[in-house]
Structure 1
């Protein structure tokens, strides 16, 4: 016979799983951004300052910030 889980145990497990996934996602996004910045640095000087290069880094940083906000909201649950 199995013991019933305490109230909220499944929710805690789901939140912990989501937090781990978000942490992994943030780390992978950080690696991707670092690689993008290295590739941008290797571009010819005129292309380094292109709108595409600036947007790539800015969009990546915005995504990282959103992921961090999600992580924080899960911690506050």
Structure 2
């Protein structure tokens, strides 16, 4: 597991209430878990965008059609 560090940030009252409602609903065990979940979504979106770019780049490359290789 990676090294962890404490982080603090400012948020509006409404944002904190939103986080607390998500925790109180049982979807998250803590404010920290809520925030880590948001970070994972950002990471997943970045990976998805990279995958899309890689696919587009691969489509631009020339080569033999797969059915001609067999």
| Higher relative contact order, chain-length normalized (CA < 8 Å, sep 6+) | 1
Larger radius of gyration: 2
What is the TM-score normalised by the length of structure 1?
0.44
What is the TM-score normalised by the length of structure 2?
0.48
